[in-house]
Structure 1
């Protein structure tokens, strides 16, 4: 009986192994793993230039790969017009629209969507030690790394001035990227604090005293009650004073 059970087990194992091998061939075979072919034809350079123009001003070095759509190569067109669909993100995996209005000689117009990948390799900043909520960041608390920003979380810090002096809002592990949503501005004015209120114009500066009605970080809007009892709104400065709008 034991021999029969052992035989059945070996037979079941053999069948299972063949089944799993078949799945591996289906899911991981050369056809499934092959990358899409890069786009060929005159439209490729037009799309590349369009994406480079769109990416102008992004931090770091931009590189672009344009793949052939699943529908196949683009039809011939003398003046292809690339465009980005509404709401499309500028970097990472994007779908670029290409339209052709025809040449007036009977050629039909068409619109196709071309897959592309826009990589942005740049410096970004990570925590150099465990950072706890409430700590104030200094230059010694983070270090520079380089990588594709498209593979990193949104809001990653790419300029050290975006981090220095900021307050940690949530704990950040060593080596983790600094992100804007994990930081907040340091409070420079406390509710009830006496502040100097400045109004500036062409060739003059007027200063008065007031009391802050709320806490405020540098650059935030704050309401102040002046000594005359008037409520005014201004911008909190890093030195603890308040600028009134012109």
Structure 2
């Protein structure tokens, strides 16, 4: 970690000068760039830089700059670019791999559709996060209080696309409609015209037949803000 921190500070500008262009100088530039790119990443980072294509015949260069192509992130397997910024005009690409060992959440027991996740419903698993889908959950706060929209077996990883905010009101349910504004607050009973998750808009029909739109809140509440 100390080595990587020092390298990150030394290469904050990413571009580094070299007296000559060698395969090792290209690899060093990529390594320093990836160290800077991954600085602060949660988890244990390991960087592997491959060898440049031996068929490359690069002109002498006094300053090179490593970079990531547009749309590429310092994550998993990638091809990093190195270009000459002084003395010649060329760009080369070098294979590299960034591993990030960290913890992610898995189901501690079988979870049924619609179940709201609590502290007892998940456990931690450790592994290379770059080998997992990008929607894996690593922060418990992203899971606690969420509703499962698929059936999960014990040990199955938790993914953000498998969770959603729990239903706050059900269609046809009698809800408490409350309105507030500058200097006033009133409440009425009404009937929800649709099912809504917490934070979603939902229409409510009041006892007088009026249809009002509000924001669903937990506990069968619908808030109207003026």
TM-score, length of structure 1 as denominator length: 0.65
Indicate the structure (1 or 2) with the bigger Cα radius of gyration.
Answer: 1
Q: Which has the higher helix share?
A: 1
- Mapping for residues 53-132 of structure 1, pairs under 5 Å: 53-56=36-39, 58-71=41-54, 75=58, 77-101=61-85, 103=86, 107-132=87-112
CA shift, 1:195, in A, is 4.2
- Give me the whole-angstrom Cα distance separating, in 2, the residues matched to 1:132 and 1:95: 41
CA RMSD of aligned residues (A): 3.3
Residue pair 2:111, 2:153 contacting (<8 A) in 1 also: yes
Q: Show CA shifts across 1:59-96 (max 9, x none).
A: 32222111113345784543322222232244111111
Q: Is the 8 A contact 1:212 1:222 kept in 2?
A: no
CA contact (8 A) 1:189 1:217 kept: yes
Cα contact 2:193–2:202 (8 A) shared by 1: yes
CA distance in 2: counterparts of 1:208 and 1:72, whole angstroms: 77
Contact kept, 8 Å, 1:214 with 1:222, in 2: the verdict is no
Cα distance between partner residues in 1 of 2:55 and 2:220: 62
Partner of 1:46 in structure 2?
29
Asked whether the 8 Å contact 1:40–1:73 carries over to 2, the reply is no
Runs of 5+ consecutive residues of structure 1 not aligned to the other structure = 1-38
Q: Relative to total residues, which structure has the larger strand share, 1 or 2?
A: 2
1:11-37 superposed Cα distances (whole Å, 9 cap, x missing partner): xxxxxxxxxxxxxxxxxxxxxxxxxxx
Structure 2 residues not aligned, in runs of 5+: 1-21
- Residue by residue over 1:182-215, the C-alpha shift from the partner in whole angstroms, topping out at 9 and shown as x without a partner, is 2222111333553445667xxx575454765432
Higher relative contact order (CA 8 A, sep 6+): 2
Aligned length: 199
Q: Secondary structure at the match of 1:42?
A: helix
